[in-house]
Chain A
Amino acid sequence: MLKRELLKIAIVVLATILSMGLHALGPPPVTLDPDRLSVVANALSFVGTATLFFLVTYYLIATVFLRYERKLYGRKLHRALLFGCLVGGIWWVGMIEGMFAFGTDFADEFLMGLLDFIPIVALCLLLSTFLVEEKTEPAGHRIKWGAILTEITVFSALFTAGRGLRYLTVGSGYDLVDLPAVMLWTAAFAVMIALTYVFLKSAFREASALRSALRFTFILFGIHYALFVYFVPLIFSELFIDLTVVLATDLVLVLLASFITAQVVERVAMPITLDSMAVKK
């Protein structure tokens, strides 16, 4: 047990080193004016704070992955790739919001997102290689694209509509001239979360739709997303309140979208679940 935990920590450290190395090669972050840095970044330096952030984040992603991966379908490396690409994908697409929030270039944010994506996939692959045992009978499964497409559409529409409502009411801090572009990004982000919801479903599904939605929202999505959102206020002495509102509303929206999608798509319109998708060979 201790050996397993130590191995997990070693892999987390490796992923952090990879992440810091990759980010050092990427475009420089926005101006690091000491007056803009948070008390933490002033005390530990930007690199020190970022290192600590990645260590904690990767440890938590590793913990969630190791707890739920065996419930996913397929061979262990496929499960790791699936989980890593979905979680990393949220970080990749999520990073692009920076171009609206900070006025940075799309290309820079896209590249930074990719540099976040790669270490998360590598982390899951390493964890899978060294800490996960192969299932004796990998379950073959047939994907019903019609059902999946419906779920993704309903989930994404609900999340996008909810975010859109927030932009128009609570305020996003973005220029309303940019709203079409912001909404386009929001839809892409919503699809990314919906893909996570659909393809990780076997990991969080329970008999109760509410419990399933809570588990997806607050464990499989919320833990890494909360850390993703709080990276900026951890480094810079700004946006605390704004990002707390973003996190709280996104969690509520994901909870609602998960619950309603399950109710509408699975029980009323399309009574097909991942159970029926899993066909034993």
Chain B
Amino acid sequence: MKILIRVAAFYGLTFVFTIILAVVQQLSGLGDG
């Protein structure tokens, strides 16, 4: 169960980080978001 939470946290954080980065870049006019 612990490993499941850790793996889910890894993919969740990676996904959230990616979305935030894409949004920030879109707002700052960098690249294709």
Contacts and interface: CB of A to CB of B under 8 A. Distances in A.
Given A230-B18, A240-B18, A35 B7 contact: no
A236 interface: yes
Contact of A237 (B10, B11, B31): B31
A39 B14 contact: no
A19 interface: no
A39 B24 contact: yes
Contacts of A38: 21, 25, 30-31
B33 A39 contact: no
- In this complex, the interface size class of chain A, counting residues with CB under 8 Å from chain B, is 20 to 34
Q: What's the dominant secondary structure at chain B's contact region?
A: helix
B25 to A, nearest CB: 5
Given A38-B21, A40-B21, A226-B14, A236 B7 contact: no
Nearest to A223: B10
A100 interface: no
* Best-surrounded residue of A218, A236, A240 (most CB of chain B within 10 A): A240
Q: Which of B21, B28, B31 lies at the interface centre, i.e. has the most chain A CB atoms within 10 A of its CB?
A: B31
Nearest to B27: A39
A233 B18 contact: yes
Interface of B: 3, 7, 10-11, 14, 18, 21-22, 24-25, 28, 30-33
Interface of A: 35-40, 60, 218-219, 222-223, 226-227, 230, 233-234, 236-241, 244
5 contacts: A223-B7, A223-B10, A233-B22, A234-B21, A240-B32
